[in-house]
Structure 1
Amino acid sequence: MIKIENLSYSFPQKDLYNKISFTLEDDQHCAFIGTSGSGKSTLIDIIMDPERYMFDGNLEIKPNCKIGYVSQFSQLDKTKETTVFEYLGEEFFKLQNEITSICTEMETSSHIDFLLEKYQQALDSLDAIGGDDFESLLNKKLNLANLMKHKDSRISALSGGEFKLIQVVKEMLHSPDLMLMDEPDVFLDFENLNSLKNLINSHQGTMLIITHNRYLLNHCFNKIIHLENMELQEFDGRYIDYNFSLLQTKIELLELAIADDDEIERNEAIINKLRFFASIYSDASNGKALKARIKIQERLEERRIKAPFLDIKQPDIRLTTYNEAEEIIALKVTDYNVAFDETLLENVNFEIKSSDKVAIIGSNGTGKTTLLRDIFKNNQASIEINPEIKVAYLSQLQGEILNESNTILEEFLSIGFETHEEIKSYVSNYGFEREILEQKIGSLSGGEKNILQLAKVAASKANMLLLDEPTSHLDTYSQIALEKAIENYNGAIIMISHDYYSIINCMDYVLIIEDKTIRKMRMRKFRKMIYADYFDKDYLEIEQKKKSIEMKIELAIKNTDFELAKSLAQELESLIKLL
C-alpha cells in the first residue's frame, strides 16, 4: 500500500527524518508512535499530499489509492445545521441525485454515448461506497459506534467526542484503501473510546493511526511504526510485545554500555599515565605507546552504543507549590448551576481540601469543562476559593492559555522570567531545545503545546491545579512523566480526564457527573464501575501489575542491577502472555 525509502525532511528550525524507510501492506492496522514533535503528523501530511513537500528519498503509494483522513482537530461548526444521517450520507445522496439527473437528461439529449459514460461512472462510484446497501452499512457503523440513537440528531447537538466518532464513521463509509487518522482518541470518554476500538477493529483495509492511547495501542494494532530522534523502526506484532522487546533491548544495551564505559575509563587512566611519563622522559617508546592507546580510545568512543529508540526524551515535569500550608478547604462549590440550550448541571455541591487529588469524570458534553473554567474565573457566588489558594489552569483549548502568535521565549518573558538564558534552562527540562525557542507556538504539535502548558503551570508554583484533559496529545513517555509529577505534588488537583490509567495511578477519588449533578465516588467503587461498564477487569488488573513490575525494572536499571532487571523481565513476560 505504501513504501517509503530513505526519506529525509527538515523544517527551517529542525531536522525531522534521517533516511527513514518502512512499508505498509494491504489490510495492516498500524499504530504510529513517537514523542511529541517528532514529526508524525507531518509524515501523514506528506503521504496525503507529497507534491507540497520538498523531501529527499522515495515515496510510493499504490496506484489509484483512495485515502481517508481523520484530523486530530474537529470542525463541528461547519456542519451544525445537518443531521447525522445527512452528514454521513452526503456523498451517497449526491451520487443518487447525479444519477437521477443523468437519466432525466438522457430522455431528451442526443449525446447518449457521453451520458451513458457519465451514468456508468456515477454507478461505479455509488457501488464503491456500497450502492443500494449504503444505508444498511451506515446503520451497522452507527451501531458499532453506539451512536444509532443520534441518527436523526443535528450535528450541532453532538458532543465533541461523538462528532469525532461520526467523522471516523464517515471516512470508513467512503471505503478508503488507506485510512489515516491523527489522534482520533483525543477527548473521548470511556464509552466512546470503546466505540472507536470497535470501529478500528471492524475496518477491512489498511490503517495508519497516530495514537498515544495505551488502551487502543494494546487492543487494535498488528504493526507498530516508531519514529524517534529522526529515525524509524518497524515491528510486526502487538504494541505490548514491541514495548517488551524495547525493554529487553534496553537492559542488554545498558549493560554493554556500562562495560564500554568501564573500558573507556580504564584506557583513559592508562593514557594519562603515558602522557605523564612522556612529559618527563623523552623516550620514543612512551610516545608510540601513547599514540596506540589514543587510537584504541578513539575506536572505543566510535563503537559506544547509540540507541535512538532507547534514548527517548522524557520531560522532567516538576509540580511544586509556593507555600506548604496546613490542610484547609481550598474550594467550596455550593448550589452551582449551568445551562446553555438545556440544563447541564444543577444543584452541584462539593468541597476540595488543599491536598486532595480529584478526577472529574462523565460522558462527553456533560459540563465538565464549563465547571472547571468557572472555578478558574472564580466570579460566581456559588464558587468560593480560599484566599490562601493560588490557582493555575491547563485548558484543553490550548490557545486559551498559550498565545500562539508568541515565540516560546516571548511566552515565558510574559509570565515573569527575566532573561533568555533563564528561560532556555527552564524549558530544556521539558524537552524544548534552543533551536525552536524562537519558533511560534502555533507551529508546535498538539503534544508540544500541552507540555508547554504544563511548563507554565509548574512555573506558577500554584497550590491548586485545574487540569482539563492534561494527557491529551501527550506521548506515552510524557504521560508517565506527568503521572509521577502529580504523585509528588503536595497541593490540590482537580483533573478532568478520560484516561483510566492516570485516574487510577494519581487520584484520591472521583467526582462523577450523573443526572445533571455531581457525586463523590471512592476509587474502589470507580474501579468496579469501570469493570462493569467499560473495560475488562482482568485486563486492567494485569495492566496494573505490569506497570508495577516495569517500575521495579526501571529502578533496577537505575541501580545497575542488571541481574534483577532480567529476572523481573521474565516475570513481566509471563504477565504479558496473560494479556
Structure 2
Amino acid sequence: MLTLNNISYFIGGRALYRNITMQIKPKDKIGLIGANGTGKSTLLKVITGEYSADEGNIQKSKDCTIGFLNQDLLSFQSDESILAVAMEAFEEATKIQIQMDQLIHKMETDYTDDMIEKLSALQERFQALEGYTIQSKAEKILEGLGFSTNDLNKPLKNFSGGWRMRVMLAKMLLAKPALLMLDEPTNHLDLPSIQWLENYLRDYEGAVIVVSHDREFIDNCVKTIVEVAQQTLNIYAGNYSFYLEEKELRSEIQKASFENQQAKIKQTERFIERFKAKASKSTQVQSRVKALDRMDMIEDVVEDNQTVNFRFTFKTQPGRVINELKNISKSYGDLHILKNTDAKIERGDKIALIGANGKGKSTVLRILTGGESAEGEVALGHNVISSFYAQHQLESLNINNEILEELKQHGSNRTETELRNVLGCFLFSSDDAFKKIKVLSGGEKSRVALAKTLISDANYLLLDEPTNHLDMVSVNILIQALQQYEGTLIVISHDRHFVSKVANKIWYIEDQEIKVYPGTYDEYKYWIENIKTTGATAAPKEKKEPVAEKKKAPAPAADPEIKKIQQQISRLEEQITALEKKKTAAEEHLAKPEVYGNPDQLAKASMEFDKVDKELLQLQTEWEMCVEKLEQ
C-alpha cells in the first residue's frame, strides 16, 4: 500500500534518518515509538508529503488515502456545530443531501419526469454512500469520544483545544482513510474515551500508525512496533510487551557481538603493530589491515532504560492527616460537581484520582490546594508543605533563564552538583543544563517543571496530568522518582501504566461524591470487572478498619478441632477489641497541641501509633485466616 525506500532526512547538518526502509500493508496496526527528538512526528509528515525527504522516495498505491491527526489541529476553529464539523467527513454524501433537498423543494411547484429521474439517481447514489446513516454514525463516534448528546449541536468554537481535537479525531475516523496516522491522540482523551478508541482501532478496516507515550494504549491496539532510534527504524512483529522482551534479547545479542568484534579488532591491531616492520609478515599484515577496513562495525548498545536514584529531602515531617475535605459542595451554575462529600488524605497515601473528563477531577485538586472556592471546609494538616504541578506551570517558567538557573532559583539551597544530578535524572545532559528555556520543546519544558516540583521541600505533591508531553523514557523516570518519594501525593492521570506503578489508593467521583478504593489500580480494575459479572457495587473497606466488626464467626460445633478454632477466634476478638481502644487513645494523643507541636513527642507518639496499627493489622489477618479455616 505504501513503501518508504531508502529515506534520509536532515535538519541542518544532523541526520534524523539515514536510508530507512519500511513497508505499510493494508490493516497493519503500527506503534511508532522512540525518545522525544528522534523524529517520530517528522516521519509522519514525510509520509503525508508535508515534508520532503532529502534522499529516497515514497511509493503509494492509488487507493491509499491518508488521514493525519496532529497537534497542529488544536488551533482549528469553526462556527459550525461539532456534529456538522464531524460530518464534513462525508463530503460527497453531504453535497448530494443538499442537492436532493433543493430538488424536492423545486418539485413542489415544478414536477417533471426529468426531475424524478434525477432525484432517483441522487437517492441511489446517496444510499450507496450509506447517507441515511451518516448522522447516527457521527453521533455514535462523538459520544464514544466523550461528548454528551446535548453537546452535539453546540458550536465548535465554544470548546477548548483538547475537545476540538476530539472533534477532528471523530471527523478522521468517520472518513475512514486507508492509512490513519494519529500523533499522541491520548493527550486529549479521558480514560473511558481512550478505552473506546483502543477498541475502535483494533477493529479498524484500514492501516493505522500511532505515536503515543501511553504504553498500555499502544499495547492494546497495535500488532507491530517500529522504534525510531540512532537514525534508523527497528521493527518488532508484536505489541509493546513483545517489543520489551524482544529488545532485551536483541540487546544481549548485539552487546555480545559488539564485545566479540572489539576483542577481534584489538587482537588484529596488536598483530599489525607487532609485525608491521617484519618483511616476512608483510603479506599477512596487509591482509589484516584490509580486513579491518572492510569490517562492518557493530554499534554498542545504547541504554535508554535509565535507572533513577532520586534523593528527596523534607525540612519537616507532617502530621498523620495531610488534607481533609468536609461536607464539600461545588457547582458551576446548574452543573453540580460535588455535593456534601467528604475525603481524607493521610500521610503516606499515594492517590490516583481517575475517571471521565467533566466529572470534576481538576476541580477537586484545585479545591485541595485552595485555588478553588467551595462550600464546606478544607483543612490542611499540621506541618504540611505542598507543591502543585499542572500544565499551566509551564507558563511560569522564565523563558530567558537557562535550565540550571531556573532550578537554582527554586532549588531549596541545593548545590549546583545536586541540581545537575537532578537534571541528569530528567535526561538533560551536562551541556543541556545551559540551554535557554525558550528553545525547549513542550516535553522538555514539562520535564523542567516536574524537576522544579520534585526538588522543592514539599512533603505533599498534587500533580495534574504530569505525563502529558513526556515520552516513555521520561514517564519511566517520573515513575521511579515518585516510587522513591516518601511523602504524600495525589495525581490525576489517564495513563494506566503510570497509575498502576505509583498509586496505592484510587479516588473516583460518582454521584457527586468522592469515592475511595483502598488499593492499587490493578486491584481496582479487578474489582470493576467483578462488578460487571456479579453485580456487587460496594468498594472494599480499607485494611486498617476492624475486621472483627465486619464478620461474625460461625455457630459453635461439637467437633474438637472446630471448638479449638472457635476458642482461638474468641481470644483474637478480645485482643482486637483491646488494641482498637489503644489505637483510639493513641490517635487522641497525637491530636493534642502539645504533642504535634513538639517534634520529639510527635515522633515518639507516631511510632507508638504505628506499632499499635501494625499489631492490629496482624491480629485481624490471623482472625480472617481462622474464620476461613472454620468455614472450610
User: In structure 2, do the counterparts of structure 1 residues 534 and 398 end up closer, same or farther at CA, with 3 Å as the change threshold?
Assistant: farther
C-alpha separation in 1, matches of 2:428 and 2:194: 31
Which letter maps to 2:469? H
Matched, 1:395 2:396: no
Say whether the 8 Å CA contact 1:8–1:19 is kept in structure 2: yes
Residue of structure 2 equivalent to 1:22:
22
Say whether the 8 Å CA contact 2:318–2:459 is kept in structure 1: no
Residue of structure 2 equivalent to 1:221:
222
Matched, 1:200 2:198: no
C-alpha separation in 2, matches of 1:177 and 1:382: 55
Give the C-alpha shift of residue 361 in structure 1.
1.7
C-alpha separation in 2, matches of 1:139 and 1:433: 48
Per-residue CA deviations over 1:20-68 (Å, capped at 9, x if unaligned) read 2212122322111112232211222333343x55633323444474322
SS of the counterpart of 2:469? coil
SS of the counterpart of 1:479? helix
Give the C-alpha shift of residue 386 in structure 1.
4.2
Matched, 1:369 2:362: yes
Match of 2:86 among 81, 85, 88: 88
Give the C-alpha shift of residue 181 in structure 1.
0.7
Say whether the 8 Å CA contact 1:34–1:226 is kept in structure 2: yes
Which letter maps to 1:42? T
Give the C-alpha shift of residue 125 in structure 1.
10
Structure 1, 334-343 or 161-170: larger mean CA deviation: 161-170
C-alpha separation in 2, matches of 1:315 and 1:6: 31
Match of 1:456 among 449, 452, 455: 452
C-alpha separation in 2, matches of 1:349 and 1:318: 36
Residue of structure 1 equivalent to 2:325:
333
Residue of structure 2 equivalent to 1:467:
463
Matches within 5 A, 1:413-492: 414-415=409-410, 426-433=422-429, 441=437, 444-492=440-488
User: In structure 2, do the counterparts of structure 1 residues 421 and 88 end up closer, same or farther at CA, with 3 Å as the change threshold?
Assistant: same
Residue of structure 2 equivalent to 1:59:
58
Residue of structure 1 equivalent to 2:599:
none
Residue of structure 2 equivalent to 1:245:
246
User: In structure 2, do the counterparts of structure 1 residues 140 and 101 end up closer, same or farther at CA, with 3 Å as the change threshold?
Assistant: closer
Give the C-alpha shift of residue 161 in structure 1.
7.4
Which letter maps to 1:354? R
Identity %: 25
Say whether the 8 Å CA contact 1:37–1:444 is kept in structure 2: no
User: In structure 2, do the counterparts of structure 1 residues 460 and 520 end up closer, same or farther at CA, with 3 Å as the change threshold?
Assistant: same
Q: CA RMSD in A?
A: 4.9
SS of the counterpart of 1:519? strand
C-alpha separation in 1, matches of 2:401 and 2:332: 33
SS of the counterpart of 1:35? coil
SS of the counterpart of 1:37? coil
Which letter maps to 2:85? Y
Say whether the 8 Å CA contact 2:425–2:477 is kept in structure 1: no
C-alpha separation in 2, matches of 1:20 and 1:182: 20
Residue of structure 2 equivalent to 1:176:
177
Residue of structure 1 equivalent to 2:554:
none
SS of the counterpart of 1:78? coil
C-alpha separation in 2, matches of 1:517 and 1:160: 28
Residue of structure 1 equivalent to 2:38:
38
Give the C-alpha shift of residue 171 in structure 1.
0.7
Say whether the 8 Å CA contact 2:35–2:471 is kept in structure 1: yes
Matches within 5 A, 1:558-569: none
Say whether the 8 Å CA contact 1:141–1:169 is kept in structure 2: yes
Say whether the 8 Å CA contact 1:6–1:20 is kept in structure 2: yes
Say whether the 8 Å CA contact 2:163–2:188 is kept in structure 1: no
Give the C-alpha shift of residue 142 in structure 1.
5.2
Say whether the 8 Å CA contact 2:89–2:172 is kept in structure 1: no
Say whether the 8 Å CA contact 1:335–1:346 is kept in structure 2: yes
> Structure 1 length normalisation: TM-score?
0.71
Structure 1, 365-374 or 163-172: larger mean CA deviation: 163-172
SS of the counterpart of 1:253? helix
Match of 1:526 among 524, 527, 550: 524
C-alpha separation in 1, matches of 2:532 and 2:154: 27
User: In structure 2, do the counterparts of structure 1 residues 132 and 211 end up closer, same or farther at CA, with 3 Å as the change threshold?
Assistant: same
SS of the counterpart of 2:489? strand
Give the C-alpha shift of residue 248 in structure 1.
1.5
Give the C-alpha shift of residue 513 in structure 1.
1.3
Which letter maps to 2:357? N
Say whether the 8 Å CA contact 1:38–1:230 is kept in structure 2: yes
The gaps in structure 1 that reach 5 residues or longer are 108-118, 276-283, 536-579
SS of the counterpart of 2:186? coil
Residue of structure 2 equivalent to 1:311:
302
Match of 1:355 among 348, 359, 363: 348
Give the C-alpha shift of residue 483 in structure 1.
2.0
Structure 1, 235-244 or 190-199: larger mean CA deviation: 235-244
Say whether the 8 Å CA contact 1:34–1:227 is kept in structure 2: yes
C-alpha separation in 2, matches of 1:463 and 1:317: 20
Aligned residues: 513
Give the C-alpha shift of residue 195 in structure 1.
0.6
C-alpha separation in 2, matches of 1:443 and 1:534: 49
Say whether the 8 Å CA contact 1:228–1:312 is kept in structure 2: no
Say whether the 8 Å CA contact 1:6–1:57 is kept in structure 2: yes
C-alpha separation in 2, matches of 1:533 and 1:55: 56
User: In structure 2, do the counterparts of structure 1 residues 347 and 266 end up closer, same or farther at CA, with 3 Å as the change threshold?
Assistant: farther
The gaps in structure 2 that reach 5 residues or longer are 108-118, 534-632
Structure 1, 465-474 or 429-438: larger mean CA deviation: 429-438
Say whether the 8 Å CA contact 2:28–2:206 is kept in structure 1: yes
Say whether the 8 Å CA contact 2:265–2:292 is kept in structure 1: no
Which letter maps to 1:526? Y
> Comparing both chains, which one has the higher relative contact order based on Cα–Cα distances under 8 Å and sequence gaps of 6 or more?
1
Residue of structure 2 equivalent to 1:499:
495
Give the C-alpha shift of residue 494 in structure 1.
0.9
Per-residue CA deviations over 1:93-143 (Å, capped at 9, x if unaligned) read 852466359869999xxxxxxxxxxx9xx9999789644442354355457
Which letter maps to 1:57? G
C-alpha separation in 2, matches of 1:421 and 1:489: 20
Say whether the 8 Å CA contact 2:214–2:497 is kept in structure 1: no
SS of the counterpart of 1:185? helix
Structure 1, 480-489 or 332-341: larger mean CA deviation: 332-341
Matched, 1:154 2:154: yes
Match of 1:322 among 293, 306, 313: 313
Say whether the 8 Å CA contact 1:177–1:205 is kept in structure 2: yes
Residue of structure 1 equivalent to 2:70:
71
Give the C-alpha shift of residue 200 in structure 1.
0.9
C-alpha separation in 2, matches of 1:186 and 1:533: 29
C-alpha separation in 1, matches of 2:241 and 2:81: 40
Residue of structure 2 equivalent to 1:115:
none
Give the C-alpha shift of residue 438 in structure 1.
6.5
Structure 1, 366-375 or 196-205: larger mean CA deviation: 366-375
C-alpha separation in 1, matches of 2:176 and 2:124: 13
Say whether the 8 Å CA contact 1:181–1:209 is kept in structure 2: yes
Give the C-alpha shift of residue 466 in structure 1.
1.4
